Structure 1
Amino acid sequence: MSSNINYAKAFGIHSAAAAFIFAILYLPFVGWFIRQSFVRPTYVHFILVVFTLIRLGAFILRGILATVESVGEDLSALMAAEVLFGAGFFSLLYASYTLVLDLEIMQNRPESSNPLIRLTKNRRIFRLTLVIAVILGIIAATSVSDSGVVSSSGQAMRTASTIIFLVLTILQAFQTFMLAQMEIATRGREKRDNESFGARHSMSILFIGAALLLVREIFATATMTNLAKQNDEHFWYPLMATPEILVVALMSIPGLVPRRDEVNRRNPQDLSMQSLQA
């Protein structure tokens, strides 16, 4: 569908250069995580392959929307870009959550007796809640009228989706804090001489990653009723796009992500459940 309305510019998409630069920056991460999926097989790497591929495609499409007038006037192309950017965050947040839980298993700590803590560690519930947020976000992204106006129901769904993502991001940060407490409690343990940089500094890396995800979601939540401000590229790139790619860079640090077989060796009784939930 095309019209004389440039939907891309109406929704704040102006800089083709920035979009293509981010696409180029994501390209090596795509190759890295594909390689790691074979060298160090783990669900975290598989999920990050999906995320980086989605972001690569999304930024290429965003660049085309900003460059080609006829594509910018195509409402379906704008909706596709919005869906890719919204749905893609699912993969990054779930990868971060999964990594924290896997590293907790590597600590060999007993399972908490607190039912609330156990609930927050349920990967299936976390994933299901993420799916609900994504579905709401997709419906919201496709609720733009031909005149470029977001319907009230679409805005309500966008708000609900954003709030769910914020709550889950806070939960992921909480899990990181809990893992840090475990690390401090066992700090006296002897570290292996050949331990990798990622393994030695895992807590610092995870804390920075959790903080970056919170920055992204706090901005998204603060501007969820003001799409003009949220989509302003002076804010969108530094506060949404940049935190994401920095988290990806952190998660690419060698040795940070444990192999799936290492996690299963530490928690063999959980093997069948992990294969279903992660």
Structure 2
Amino acid sequence: MSASGLQVNYAHAIGFNSVAAAVIFATLYVPLFHWFILQSFKHPTYVHIVLSLFCAIRITAFVIRSLLASASSAGENLGLLIGDEILFGVGFFGLLYSAYTLVLDRELLNDSPPPRNPIIALTRNRRIFRLALVLAVALGSAGTSMSQSSSSSTAHTGKTLHVISTVMFLVLTILQALQTLHLARSELSGTSQYRKDNESFGMRYGVYILLLVAALLLVREAFSMATVNDLLKQTNEHFWYPLLAVPEIIAVALYATPGLVPPRSDLPK
């Protein structure tokens, strides 16, 4: 409560104003959620299951965001605002790891040669990449929560953790993009027998789709990194929606391309 006795609307103070935009994005994610849930039962794969969870998280986060942006008292609830920010950070794990998984799975199907770059070769270790992602999520969640503390030292530590998390996500996104470029060079320089035998659109043109997904994720993380020390610019809806929300939902829609996600039965044991 402020000195005048009036409640502070934290959401409006940092730029949460558009209820319509939040409702539209929540609505757009609903059919995508149903699609990936259906695929999770028909063709259960890690990618389908994780993207179902991602869509559910985004629907929840945008519903909360619509409440925060409304004229109701929800915007005065700092805990709700922090929870919404954490949900948006946690969800990116599934989006990035799905792209990473698809690239490695296509390399297995196409019998692509191992990369010569030792850094890229190291990041092909799924456990290491997944562990790094989990650490980035944990640091980001802790940082978001601590940065709102009334204690200046705790808030400073929270901001530091948030910066570290953002840097880690950016580095992992760049590494995933490099993995995708390696796959593209491998596929486009030769003819994959698996692709020749597979008539699905997603398998034949999947490398182009994955390159586009990698570019969208880079745009998202570049924006997060560029505004990491400027909360008002990062939450400004004129920037946040086109540079973070839009790239995410386009990427998710691209994941729904028929045949892009290979069945588990086709992958080498």
Q: TM-score, normalised by structure 2?
A: 0.92
Which residue is 2:121 aligned to?
118
Matched, 1:178 2:176: no
How far apart are 1:254 and its partner, in Å? 0.5
1:197 aligns with 2:201: yes
- Report the Cα distance in structure 1 between the residues aligned to 2:150 and 2:117, rounded to whole angstroms: 51
What CA deviation, in whole Å up to 9, does each residue of 1:30-56 have, x standing for no partner?
000001111222111111011111001
How many angstroms does 1:26 deviate by? Answer: 0.2
Q: Which residue of structure 2 lines up, in the alignment, with residue 62 of structure 1?
A: 65
- Give the drift of 1:98: 0.7
Shift of 1:4: 0.4
Q: Which residue of 2 aligns with 1:14?
A: 17
| 2-structure distance, mates of 1:78, 1:188 | 48
Residue 219 (str. 1) matches residue 223 (str. 2): yes
Shift of 1:185: 2.7
1:243–1:177: structure 2 CA closer, same or farther, 3 Å change rule? same
| Unaligned 5+ runs, structure 1 | 269-278
Please tell me the root mean square deviation across aligned C-alpha atoms, in Å: 2.3
Q: Secondary structure at the match of 2:260?
A: coil
Report the Cα distance in structure 2 between the residues aligned to 1:42 and 1:190, rounded to whole angstroms: 19
Q: Show CA shifts across 1:46-88 (max 9, x none).
A: 1101111100100011001111521110111001101100111
* C-alpha distance in 1 between matches for 2:39 and 2:91: 20
Distance 1:191 1:129, change over 3 A: closer
Residues 110 and 207 of structure 1: CA distance in aligned 2, closer, same or farther (over 3 Å): closer
Distance change in 2, residues 1:127/1:189 (3 Å): closer
Aligned twin of 2:47: 44
C-alpha distance in structure 1 between counterparts of 2:94 and 2:194, whole Å: 34
* Alpha-carbon offset, residue 118 of structure 1: 2.9
Q: Which of 233, 237, 241 is matched with 2:237 structurally?
A: 233
1:135 has 2:134 as partner: no
Residue type of the alignment partner of 1:203: V
Q: Which runs of 5+ in 2 are unaligned?
A: none
In structure 2, what is the equivalent of residue 105 of structure 1? 108
Deviates more, 1:91-100 or 1:110-119: 110-119
Q: Which aligned pairs between 1:61-100 and structure 2 lie closer than 5 A? A: 61-100=64-103
Equivalenced residue count is 265
Q: 2:111 aligns to what SS in structure 1?
A: coil
Normalising to structure 1: TM-score of the pair? Answer: 0.89
Q: Secondary structure at the match of 1:151?
A: helix
Match of 2:161 in 1: 157
**2 CA distance for matches of 1:228 and 1:220?**
12
Task: Label 1:43 to 1:6 Cα distance change in 2 as closer, same or farther (>3 A).
Answer: same
CA distance in 2, matches of 1:165, 1:234: 23
- Quote the Cα distance in structure 1 between the aligned partners of 2:197 and 2:183: 22
Instruction: Write the letter of the residue equivalent to 2:168.
Output: I
Q: Displacement of 1:192 after TM fit?
A: 4.1
Instruction: Please tell me whether the aligned partners of residues 140 and 157 of structure 1 are also in contact (alpha carbons under 8 angstroms).
Output: yes
